[in-house]
Amino acid sequence: MENQGKKMLESAQALIKETAKNLGFDEEIIKRLIEPEMICEFSFPVKMDDGQIKVFKGWRVQHNSLLGPYKGGIRFHPQTSREEVQALATLMTIKCAVAGLPYGGAKGGVLVDPKKLSSAELERLSREYVKKIAHFIGEDIDVPAPDVNTNPQIMAWMIDEYRKIKGYQSKATFTGKPVAMGGSLGRTEATGRGGVIVLKALLSELVKDGSTKILSRLNSSLTLLKQKVSKNFVLPSFNNQKLKSNNEITIAVQGFGNVGYYFAKIASEAGFKVVAVSDSKGGIIKPKGENMEALDIPLVMECKKEKGTLAGCYCAGGVCDTKGGKTITNEELLELPVDILVPAALENVINEKNMKNIKAKIIIEMANGPVTEEAYEYLSKKGVVIVPDVLANSGGVTVSYLEWVQNKAGYYWSEEEVNSKLEVMMKKAFEAIWEKASKKKIPLKQAAFEVALERIVAAMVG
């Protein structure tokens, strides 16, 4: 994983350097955009249930604070590395700037397989980690949150330990907490919901006159999608307004965890036709003649929880049929003839090996870095519209910001109010990127990085 983390870091830094040079920034500014402001690397002991002491390695990388306090999750993973954590902190700086949030970027990590720990060991690990970073974080300094293999319960342990160390309560120091401890309503669904908001904003632009300025290499399949969208699309809000019932805009979602599930569920509620989903073991479709039937996403989840697998959960129209569908691999899902592809699981799943087989006209990057640079270049030249991860999956950090605001104000919003604020902020973030992409006739990813770097550099003094 160290090599992979190194590659991820080099890729992120190269993209920032290239974008900064295109914007005419000098070498010293580029250095400030690339180099982390602080890297905390440490080892810490944890008592195991059998009485033995085990030593773990941890990091907290604070990349950039020009726009505000550092912001970023903490991951527990058996293959994480300093390079990976630094790369993710760098990308958090970009993501927060893209989302228009008053935050810089950070990330934390512990080299551990949490699945091998008991609940008590996991709690002790979480508390010992906080002891190492407590003097480097704070509600106006650095605000951690959950990431891979961490969750609201772990945040609860961490904020309790932080309170003991500091001697006072500071709910706003951590986000992604349980609601009872000051967490925000709507946070669980936020990343998936944000992705659907961006998708709807993109489609609404596609139906406007002159919107094809951004799509200088518009291929025939995307032209057909535009016609389909124009015929069926009504921009929904969250008052249960849906796409027309004859809508045929098809979506395949790879990944059925928190992000993928809620994207699929909320997209279905908005009237999109989600025809394929998958988890780490594989996926499912329900063929209907030459087409595929829309899956009933909440029922699929119920079935999966009951069976422990997606296989056989061919749920559609309120009914689950164990024989009416077909299992597919994750690789096959990516190559389905759908309008919109949503990789919401692992990085680098769309690469030089399968890029020529991708049939979707739009890709929404809900996972971090699901499309390699080679595949990105190839698909962009083909006219595929790729919504970059730094925009598509920024709904989570946006609602984390709303949680932080609520904690600092001591005033809490309803879930409907949170969702409404998320929609406004995500649309605003998308519009800034779409405007730059249209004006300069560049891909959305390049536009996103340009918008982010311009915002960060504008905050530099001297």
Residues 300 and 166 in one domain: no
* DSSP code, position 294: P
- Rounded-to-integer distance, Cα 239 and Cα 225, Å: 26
| Beta-strand pair 250-254/340-343 | parallel
Domain with 159, as residue range(s), is 2-174
Residues 149 and 206 in one domain: no
Among 7-11, 55-59, 62-66, the least confident range: 7-11
Let me know if residue 295 belongs to a domain.
yes
CATH assignment of the domain containing 80: 3.40.50.10860
- pLDDT value of position 215: 43
Residues 101 and 212 in one domain: no
Residues 251 and 385 in one domain: yes
Q: What is the pLDDT of residues 8-27, one digit of tens each?
A: 899 899 999 999 999 999 99
Q: Which amino acid is at 109?
A: G
Question: Taking residues 39-58, what's their average pLDDT?
Answer: 98
Torsions phi, psi for 383 (to 5 deg): 95, 10
Let me know if residue 219 belongs to a domain.
yes
| Annotation marks residue 107 as catalytic | yes
Let me know if residue 66 belongs to a domain.
yes
- pLDDT value of position 245: 36
Reported as a pLDDT band with limits 50, 70 and 90, residue 3 is confident
Checking if the pLDDT of 239 tops 60, the result is no
Checking if the pLDDT of 212 tops 60, the result is no
Per the CB < 8 A criterion, the answer to whether 55 and 43 are in contact is yes
Residues, the chain: 462
Give the angle 155-160-166 at the CA atoms, nearest 5°: 120
Let me know if residue 423 belongs to a domain.
no
Let me know if residue 44 belongs to a domain.
yes
391: its two tokens? 């925009």
Q: Which amino acid is at 247?
A: N
Checking if the pLDDT of 235 tops 60, the result is no
- pLDDT value of position 248: 80
- Non-local (6+) Cβ contacts of 137 within 8 A are 60, 70, 143, 144, 162, 173
Question: Which among 84, 71, 134 is positioned nearest to 110, based on CA atoms?
Answer: 84
Question: Taking residues 437-450, what's their average pLDDT?
Answer: 94
Alpha helices in 271-323 (DSSP H): 297-307
- Rounded-to-integer distance, Cα 336 and Cα 338, Å: 6
Let me know if residue 282 belongs to a domain.
yes
Residues 170 and 194 in one domain: no
Name beta bridge partners: 74. 108, 146
- Rounded-to-integer distance, Cα 186 and Cα 193, Å: 9
Residues 16 and 89 in one domain: yes
Q: What is the pLDDT of residues 307-320, one digit of tens each?
A: 888 988 999 988 88
Let me know if residue 445 belongs to a domain.
no
- Find tokens 């407590």 and name the residue: 134
Residues 123 and 160 in one domain: yes
- pLDDT value of position 69: 98
Residues 50 and 150 in one domain: yes
- Rounded-to-integer distance, Cα 141 and Cα 397, Å: 16
Per the CB < 8 A criterion, the answer to whether 456 and 97 are in contact is yes
- Rounded-to-integer distance, Cα 279 and Cα 260, Å: 9
Reported as a pLDDT band with limits 50, 70 and 90, residue 324 is confident
Checking if the pLDDT of 189 tops 60, the result is yes
- pLDDT value of position 423: 97
Three-class DSSP labels, 275-286: EEEEECCEEEEC
CB-side exposure of 270: number of CA atoms within 13 Å?
A: 28
Report the SS3 class of residue 183. coil
Per the CB < 8 A criterion, the answer to whether 350 and 375 are in contact is yes
- Point out the catalytic residue in the list 71, 107, 171, 228: 107
Q: What is the pLDDT of residues 71-111, one digit of tens each?
A: 999 999 999 999 999 999 999 999 999 999 999 999 999 99
- Rounded-to-integer distance, Cα 21 and Cα 188, Å: 38
Checking if the pLDDT of 138 tops 70, the result is yes
- pLDDT value of position 412: 97
Burial annotation 376-396 (CB, 10 A radius, 16+ → b, else e): bebbbeebbbbbbbbbbbbbb
Checking if the pLDDT of 175 tops 90, the result is yes
Reported as a pLDDT band with limits 50, 70 and 90, residue 240 is very low
Q: How far apart are the first and last CA of the chain?
A: 39
- pLDDT value of position 321: 83
Domain boundary among 370, 392, 414: 392
CATH assignment of the domain containing 204: 3.40.50.720
Let me know if residue 449 belongs to a domain.
no
Checking if the pLDDT of 210 tops 50, the result is no
Per the CB < 8 A criterion, the answer to whether 278 and 330 are in contact is yes
Domain boundary among 343, 373, 392: 392
| Beta-strand pair 142-146/70-77 | parallel
- pLDDT value of position 229: 55
177: its two tokens? 């907490």
- Rounded-to-integer distance, Cα 308 and Cα 302, Å: 10
Checking if the pLDDT of 228 tops 70, the result is no
- pLDDT value of position 289: 83
Residues 160 and 281 in one domain: no
- Rounded-to-integer distance, Cα 3 and Cα 387, Å: 27
Residues 302 and 158 in one domain: no
Residues 321 and 264 in one domain: yes
Per-chain mean pLDDT for the chain: 90
Percent of the chain with pLDDT over 90: 80
- What's the total number of domains in the chain? 2
Q: What is the pLDDT of residues 330-384, one digit of tens each?
A: 999 999 999 999 999 988 899 999 999 999 999 999 998 899 999 999 999 998 9
Name beta bridge partners: 58. 42, 110
Domain boundary among 122, 149, 174: 174
Residues 90 and 168 in one domain: yes
- pLDDT value of position 67: 97
- pLDDT value of position 233: 46
